[in-house]
Amino acid sequence: MDKTNLFYERLLKAVEQSGKSVNCIERELGYSRNELHNYKNGTAPSGSRLIELAQYFHLSPDYLIGKDDATDYICPESFFQKLNKEQKIKMLKIAQKWATRQIIKPDFEIKQMKKKN
């Protein structure tokens, strides 16, 4: 794939996967009409625009500009918001178990050891 158009190709792929139109995304981000199409000629986005687009699509900036091929960047808050109520409850139970094993229990054991000394 031509490096000059890699950003635009990946941007279009992210747009397609979002299920929204380019114009819809431009409106949601407050961009002028056809602003995203301006990247078709190989123009690189500004740093702030790159970060904004990466956050919107939940991708890493490095992926969008072609420095990384991994698309597995996931914003925890965004991931959680996409869960339904049942999935959120299950996630909460998992987090509680983890916190008990990793944080609460060791803190309790340290306090008990200090009391003995």
- For the segment 80-109, the average pLDDT, to the nearest whole number, is 84
Torsion angles phi and psi, residue 46, rounded to 5: -70, 165
Q: Which SS3 state, helix, strand or coil, does residue 31 take? A: coil
- For the segment 23-27, the average pLDDT, to the nearest whole number, is 95
- CA atoms of 35 and 55, how far apart (whole Å): 17
Neighbours of 17 (CB within 10 A): 11
Q: What's this model's pTM, rounded to 2 decimal places? A: 0.60
Select the more confidently predicted residue: 1 or 88.
88
Quick one: residue 9, left, alpha or beta (phi over 0 = left, psi -120 to 50 = alpha)?
A: alpha
